[in-house]
Chains A and B, each alone.
Chain A
């Protein structure tokens, strides 16, 4: 109990950092993923191909290697990022690939007939996009987006390797100095669990508030 109380503040700070890194990375990744999706929808063949290659590369390589390229590789080009900055940037590039695929799935789930109805009634492509496609696609995508955010939170543990003092790094430091394993690891697991479950719970609450997702009873 004594150990728990001593460690708790350090874990709270570390968990907060994990959350900050993940949220910042995922927010940028979400925006990037949406842009990728838009390019693929209407940007012509060259853009679509470029986006396809991007997704192909980012999904096909480990996050750790992407982080190394950003943290150790970019300084060669004259761009030196701090470890937390490199983490956010890497998480953003990495998750953008997945987010764009999620948006693609959300769009693919819209029944063709609804788009036809919008056409038949003379809606402009912009009205169609904003009022018919977007609200539905986002609602379909919501659980997948939350899922991806959870994956980003867990992937952020890799930042410990470049010495970002987030949850995993903090745990390693404590273990190295105290030789106590059980309590630090228990707190580590509890920390990630709390963060990820909060995201899952929030997404569930949000989904419940979308009236048209409630299926008739």
Chain B
């Protein structure tokens, strides 16, 4: 068992022009851990997640995936240069992502969606890729829709395909960006069920979510962000039960009132 964190963030910052949306984030994610990022809109949690696979280029600090610096190379005088697209792809290879809006490719069947990263990015033979894709679809209960196009599926089904697409590349770390936020309330449960079963299988995950109850149940660690900073982090029992900062207490109040209501 390695004690090296699979994902390490050190003083990560990100600005859009004058607007500094991340102001120095530190985070270690160990293998098998499930970390959820919570916080109000605009707190920087989605930006932080998107930096973790360089969909957003962070511009301060360091992000390490399995001990490799993501996105940049450090030259002789400590000057950083941005890596090529291929080099970035190589470092982020152990990481897969699930998107809030699913981001399936509408011109491909469900099976083709799941197989495409294997064929087009991992250079896998088509037969093998289709076999792997079908297995991933079975894992999320979507194998029966393999030949359908995404537009024919419900939101919950599309997100399950999104999860299958991420699973198929056999990731060591999954990033989930508000995976149930775009779903009708009655479809949330089916997607959460799939994510729970991944958790039981020991998948390492970092998830941004607004579903406090789900975060409380599934996480090993909850990170509360606001204003581009980590305000508080710890095991869910601690954070949801005995939050130390008034800001987190205030943020959790509506949820606590709802869940404690008779």
Contact = CB atoms under 8 A, between A and B. Distances in A.
B107 interface: yes
A212 B120 contact: no
A120 B53 contact: yes
B96 A121 contact: yes
A116 B86 CA distance: 15
Interface residues of B, number: 29
A119 interface: yes
Interface in A101-123: 111, 113-114, 116-123
A140 to B, nearest CB: 10
B210 to A, nearest CB: 19
A124 interface: yes
Interface in A172-204: none
A215 interface: yes
B149 A117 contact: no
Contact of B103 (A117, A125, A131, A135): A117
A117 B169 CA distance: 13
Contacts of A136: 105-107
Contacts of B90: 122
Interface residues of A, number: 24
Interface string B139-166: 0000000000101100000000000010
B97 A120 contact: yes
A132 B85 CA distance: 17
Contacts of A139: 107
Interface of B: 53, 55, 85-86, 89-90, 92-93, 95-97, 99, 101, 103-108, 116-117, 120-122, 149, 151-152, 165, 169
Interface of A: 111, 113-114, 116-125, 127, 131-132, 135-136, 139, 210-212, 215-216
Q: Which 4 A-B pairs have the closest CB atoms?
A: A121-B117, A122-B89, A117-B103, A113-B103
